[in-house]
């Protein structure tokens, strides 16, 4: 089988770093992005099969430069994983315009821009994925985490637009992936899943063949209602 190739945007630590290692261990060539120098990613990249690049999803010029540098690739998977929790003390009642802008740019608009700019690097029939969150499901919401939920629901909506207008016609599957609640800087030490458990599931989902549909899937393959 030809070597499978993936681009992961937001791979300096946490789930993105873990998935970079997991896919490389499974024989994939992984192009892994950091915003600034990541010692953890440099360490993982020593194992081989990993190429480190730089991008910030809120900096369009950096995304365009990355897409230009990688032009000519025919990737099997592009995953836009970057995300922030934002200032949890900000709710819809008291949020500042800056707080709203930061989380919407980082979790929704920036990832959508990144995904669309990287789409030409994907082979027809490949998979474009975004790390979203179950907290972005409107169907399941019981409130709380206002800005984070809003940003991930918005990301899901923008992903649907990319699918309908740009991905479907090329047979590209679009996955909005919930990694589970995971022990990372964001998830905290009391989360039920280790990074290894989450990324094993995510890698299985990314390795599977998917129809050209936009689906909201958890790390264990469970379908989540929008
Ligand atoms: N952990 C959970 O329980 C959980 C649950 C549901 C969904 N998620 C989602 O999973 C994804 C990864 O989360 P995590 O738990 O691994 O969080 P994390 O440990 O805080 O890592 C976040 C990653 O996103 C990168 N990032 C943040 N802002 C960025 C930007 N503007 N441009 C490029 N990269 C940026 C970070 O890079 P730097 O190192 O440069 O900051 C880091 O690599 C996020 O989208 C998150 O919302 C996590």
Q: Domain holding 100: CATH number? A: 3.40.50.720
Structural domain range at position 202:
5-218
pTM of full prediction above 0.95: yes
Residue whose CA lies nearest to ligand 1 atom number 44 = 83
Residue 8: per-residue pLDDT: 98
Tell me the CA–centroid distance for residue 14 and ligand 1, in Å.
Answer: 7
Residue 57: per-residue pLDDT: 98
* Residues in contact with ligand 1 (CB, 6 Å cut-off): 10, 12-16, 35-36, 56-58, 81-84, 106, 131, 133, 178-179, 181-182, 184-187, 191
> What totals of helices (H) and strands (E) does the chain contain, helices first?
7, 7
The answer to whether residue 226 sits within a structural domain is: no
Residue 181: per-residue pLDDT: 98
With a cut of 70, list the residues of the chain below it in pLDDT. 1
The answer to whether residue 148 sits within a structural domain is: yes
CB proximity list for 221: less than 8 A, separation 6 or greater: 201, 204, 205, 208
The answer to whether residue 224 sits within a structural domain is: no
110-144 burial, b at 16+ Cβ within 10 Å, e below that, comes to bbbbbbbbbbebbeeebbbbbbbbbbbbeeeeeee
The answer to whether residue 140 sits within a structural domain is: yes
Residue whose CA lies nearest to ligand 1 atom number 47 = 83
The answer to whether residue 192 sits within a structural domain is: yes
Tell me the CA–centroid distance for residue 83 and ligand 1, in Å.
Answer: 4
Residue 2: per-residue pLDDT: 84
Residue 74: per-residue pLDDT: 97
User: For residue 182, what is the DSSP state?
Assistant: B
The answer to whether residue 225 sits within a structural domain is: no
**Total number of domains constituting the chain:** 1
Residue 47: per-residue pLDDT: 87
Tell me the CA–centroid distance for residue 194 and ligand 1, in Å.
Answer: 15
The answer to whether residue 124 sits within a structural domain is: yes
Residue 225: per-residue pLDDT: 98
């Amino acid at each position: 089988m030809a070597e499978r190739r993936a681009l992961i945007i937001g791979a300096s630590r946490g789930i993105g770093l873990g998935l970079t290692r997991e896919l490389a261990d499974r024989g994939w060539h992984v192009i892994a992005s950091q915003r600034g120098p990541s010692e953890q990613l440099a360490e993982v990249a020593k194992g081989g099969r990993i190429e480190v690049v730089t991008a910030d999803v809120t900096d369009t010029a950096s995304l365009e430069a990355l897409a230009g540098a990688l032009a000519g690739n025919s990737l099997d998977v592009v995953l836009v994983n970057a995300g922030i929790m934002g200032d949890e003390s900000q709710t819809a009642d008291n949020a500042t315009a800056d707080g709203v802008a930061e989380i919407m740019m980082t979790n929704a608009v920036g990832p959508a821009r990144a995904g669309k700019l990287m789409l030409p690097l994907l082979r027809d029939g490949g998979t474009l994925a975004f790390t979203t969150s179950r907290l972005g499901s409107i169907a399941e919401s019981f409130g709380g985490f206002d800005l984070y939920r809003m940003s991930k629901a918005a990301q899901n909506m923008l992903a649907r637009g990319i699918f309908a207008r740009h991905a479907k016609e090329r047979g590209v599957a679009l996955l909005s992936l919930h990694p589970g609640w995971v022990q990372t800087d964001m998830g905290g030490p009391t989360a039920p899943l280790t990074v290894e458990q989450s990324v094993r599931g995510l890698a299985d989902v990314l390795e599977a063949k998917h129809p050209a549909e936009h689906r909201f899937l958890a790390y264990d393959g469970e379908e989540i209602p929008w």
